Chain A
């Protein structure tokens, strides 16, 4: 009788098979932990900036400009020529940059994933239509398109968001479409069809979980890109407007004092690099974590 087949006897299951649900994911690796820790620390510091610094980021102290780091009362010094506290500008400014990194990327990954799923799953004219639209966006260099949109809408933080939302989904749509095309012919998707799953349920239950990891990993790179973009726009004066703090504009206004007050542009630069490294570590870690076992 089949029921008593050797391979089906519970006791015959190898020891390692005793793992349960928690083991379905790959391993949590150190890059993931370190990356998340750095990002969480930075985010918390920016969110709770008022608790960490008693200075208003825009308050000027014209009697004390260009104070070096570790000066009394100013841990990271003050900028020149206004004497604003660099630490509080860094923390308050980080709110804008991190918000762009997270908020810009989150919206684009959702929109891009939906578009890519629909295009890849249904194929035919739906696919052609959606992909031609993405091609139009791809035909322009990303930065130039964002610059044009922000310039047209007017320089502001919100318009930077809008520009990223309008342009950024395209990459995700392409990634997800390609993954969907590769996943759709697999037997388990065919099987879902045979057991009467609807298109929506096949996309949600079978395709999305198996294609999203590529987009999530790309999103980590994309988040860095968006932060750099926000910084670049700030540097060009198209993003957050002075005197409101933002890392890119801090570098821009500090570069004239590079020789005498090097910390003014360097400290926000280090902050950008640190966030970049954190996201990139998370991306590495997620690659290992999201890979299904086979």
Chain B
């Protein structure tokens, strides 16, 4: 893998949530939250995972941590297949993989003190005496930029940003290698977002962390990520180094996303060409056949509704799933002709 060690290896992962209905509660359908995703997270990197609401990015993040049942495919963590492990078997691995939650209000138990919250992982793994745990918690609070004297306070006594720091301290308590950060700043004020992002970057170098950074804000992801993966309707549609992806998006969906990033300069912003996608994302209960994006794609042609595009390496390290992925210097396949189904630009 280009000399990279992958810490997480996801192969053909699908997660479908059954829809029960009818008199006997039989399964009448399924939400196809994640479909046939292949992805490796390299040791020490930050992999950004972006997509709209409902694209399956959070589901994917939670599935890696075995918080959800996996329908098909496999997840390996440091070479260990955790797909079929029971809750008890995964437990020891919790010391290696942790999670930072999106909602700093919902992710902290309102009836526990900061000490109880941050020391709980230590208690679970019998790490240290009560006194040692207290010292550790104070150290963790100091690391994440909180006052160690606030150890006996309750979550409601803190601001959103401070609560998120408590959540980060809890995730770090076990000194994990791999952390899924599930939109860790999207619930925060813009002014606080930068502080938390800086903190995460600082912690990454300090503790040698690997991040899977789930977000819907492209600017945030670009700022923090080494590589970026784009999801649409449960499918991985593009994966590339952050700079490459932002400079040369190959997939039409990524291109549309990029064109939606506002530019700070109002004159440039006005001149900028925007790709407006029509309609909403289709329901994951009834996903479109073949390419999931063809119903909204401005480059769609008949083949897109018939043959699913493979997720291929279009140029070194740059993967995309599109029949018409434009790589400079690579021409379109000859056999595909006909008018563009939709062109907006």
Task: Give bound CA distance, A294 to B157, whole Å.
Answer: 9
* B98 lies within 8 A of A194 (CB): yes
Residue of A196, A205, A209, A210 touching B95 (CB-CB under 8 A): A196
* A197 lies within 8 A of B124 (CB): yes
Q: Which of A3, A194, A209, A210 has the most CB of B within 10 A?
A: A194
* A10 lies within 8 A of B202 (CB): no
* B153 lies within 8 A of A188 (CB): no
Chain B nearest CB: distance from A290 CB in Å? 10
Of residues 93 to 138 in B, which have CB atoms within 8 Å of A's CB atoms?
Answer: 94-95, 98-99, 101-103, 105-113, 120-121, 124-125
* B152 lies within 8 A of A194 (CB): no
Task: Give bound CA distance, A197 to B174, whole Å.
Answer: 13
Contacts of B111 in A (CB 8 A): 24, 209-210, 292
Contacts of A206 in B (CB 8 A): 109
Please give me the residue from chain A that is nearest to B144 by CB atom.
Answer: A2
Consensus secondary structure, chain A interface:
helix
Residue of B105, B121, B145, B152 touching A196 (CB-CB under 8 A): B121
* A194 lies within 8 A of B99 (CB): yes
Query: Given the interface contacts A8-B147, A186-B106, A187-B106, does A17 sit within 8 Å of B153 by beta carbon?
Result: yes
Contacts of B150 in A (CB 8 A): 10, 13
* A2 lies within 8 A of B198 (CB): yes
Contacts of B67 in A (CB 8 A): 190, 193-194
Contacts of A209 in B (CB 8 A): 109, 111
Task: Give bound CA distance, A90 to B65, whole Å.
Answer: 63
Of residues 90 to 127 in A, which have CB atoms within 8 Å of B's CB atoms?
Answer: none
Query: Given the interface contacts A21-B113, A197-B124, does A187 sit within 8 Å of B101 by beta carbon?
Result: yes
Task: Give bound CA distance, A196 to B97, whole Å.
Answer: 10
Please list 19 pairs of residues, one from A and one from B, whose beta carbons are closer than 8 Å in the complex, sorted by A's number.
Answer: A3-B145, A5-B161, A10-B149, A17-B157, A23-B154, A191-B107, A193-B87, A195-B121, A195-B173, A196-B124, A196-B125, A196-B174, A197-B120, A197-B124, A198-B91, A198-B124, A199-B87, A201-B124, A209-B111
Q: Which of A10, A190, A198, A293 has the most CB of B within 10 A?
A: A190
Interface residues of A (CB under 8 A from B): 1-5, 7-8, 10, 13, 17, 19-21, 23-24, 186-188, 190-199, 201, 205-206, 209-210, 292-294
Contacts of B95 in A (CB 8 A): 196
Contacts of B153 in A (CB 8 A): 17, 20
Task: Give bound CA distance, A192 to B146, whole Å.
Answer: 21
Please give me the residue from chain A that is nearest to B68 by CB atom.
Answer: A190
Task: Give bound CA distance, A193 to B167, whole Å.
Answer: 14
Chain A nearest CB: distance from B24 CB in Å? 12
Residue of A5, A21, A187 touching B195 (CB-CB under 8 A): A5
* A191 lies within 8 A of B99 (CB): yes
Task: Give bound CA distance, A10 to B148, whole Å.
Answer: 9
The 9 closest A-B pairs by CB, nearest first: A196-B94, A2-B199, A195-B121, A187-B107, A8-B145, A187-B106, A10-B147, A292-B110, A196-B124
* A194 lies within 8 A of B94 (CB): yes
Task: Give bound CA distance, A195 to B167, whole Å.
Answer: 11
Contacts of B327 in A (CB 8 A): none
Task: Give bound CA distance, A209 to B154, whole Å.
Answer: 15
Task: Give bound CA distance, A17 to B152, whole Å.
Answer: 12
Chain A nearest CB: distance from B113 CB in Å? 7
Task: Give bound CA distance, A189 to B107, whole Å.
Answer: 8
Please give me the residue from chain A that is nearest to B97 by CB atom.
Answer: A194
Contacts of A191 in B (CB 8 A): 99, 101, 107-108, 167, 170
Q: Cβ of B5 < 8 Å from any Cβ of A?
A: no
Give the B interface residue count (CB, 8 A).
Answer: 53
Please give me the residue from chain A that is nearest to B103 by CB atom.
Answer: A187
Of residues 46 to 70 in B, which have CB atoms within 8 Å of A's CB atoms?
Answer: 62, 65, 67
Task: Give bound CA distance, A34 to B231, whole Å.
Answer: 60
Chain A nearest CB: distance from B178 CB in Å? 12
* A293 lies within 8 A of B192 (CB): no
Task: Give bound CA distance, A192 to B106, whole Å.
Answer: 12
Chain B nearest CB: distance from A52 CB in Å? 41
Residue of A7, A23, A192, A199 touching B161 (CB-CB under 8 A): A7
Please give me the residue from chain A that is nearest to B168 by CB atom.
Answer: A2
Chain B nearest CB: distance from A225 CB in Å? 28
Given contacts A195-B121, A201-B124, A293-B154, 19 further A-B contacts (CB under 8 A): A3-B142, A7-B161, A10-B149, A17-B153, A21-B152, A23-B154, A186-B106, A187-B101, A187-B107, A188-B107, A190-B67, A191-B170, A193-B67, A196-B94, A196-B121, A205-B120, A209-B111, A293-B110, A294-B156
Chain B nearest CB: distance from A82 CB in Å? 54
Q: Cβ of B165 < 8 Å from any Cβ of A?
A: yes
Please give me the residue from chain A that is nearest to B198 by CB atom.
Answer: A2
Task: Give bound CA distance, A19 to B157, whole Å.
Answer: 8
Chain B nearest CB: distance from A18 CB in Å? 9
* B145 lies within 8 A of A5 (CB): yes
Task: Give bound CA distance, A52 to B143, whole Å.
Answer: 64
Chain A nearest CB: distance from B141 CB in Å? 10
Task: Give bound CA distance, A292 to B155, whole Å.
Answer: 11
Please give me the residue from chain B that is nearest to A186 by CB atom.
Answer: B106
* B103 lies within 8 A of A7 (CB): no
Q: Cβ of B244 < 8 Å from any Cβ of A?
A: no
* B157 lies within 8 A of A210 (CB): no
Task: Give bound CA distance, A201 to B167, whole Å.
Answer: 19
Contacts of B108 in A (CB 8 A): 188, 191
Task: Give bound CA distance, A2 to B158, whole Å.
Answer: 17
Task: Give bound CA distance, A190 to B98, whole Å.
Answer: 11
Q: Cβ of B259 < 8 Å from any Cβ of A?
A: no
Chain A nearest CB: distance from B190 CB in Å? 13
Contacts of A4 in B (CB 8 A): 145
Task: Give bound CA distance, A233 to B30, whole Å.
Answer: 54
Chain B nearest CB: distance from A96 CB in Å? 37
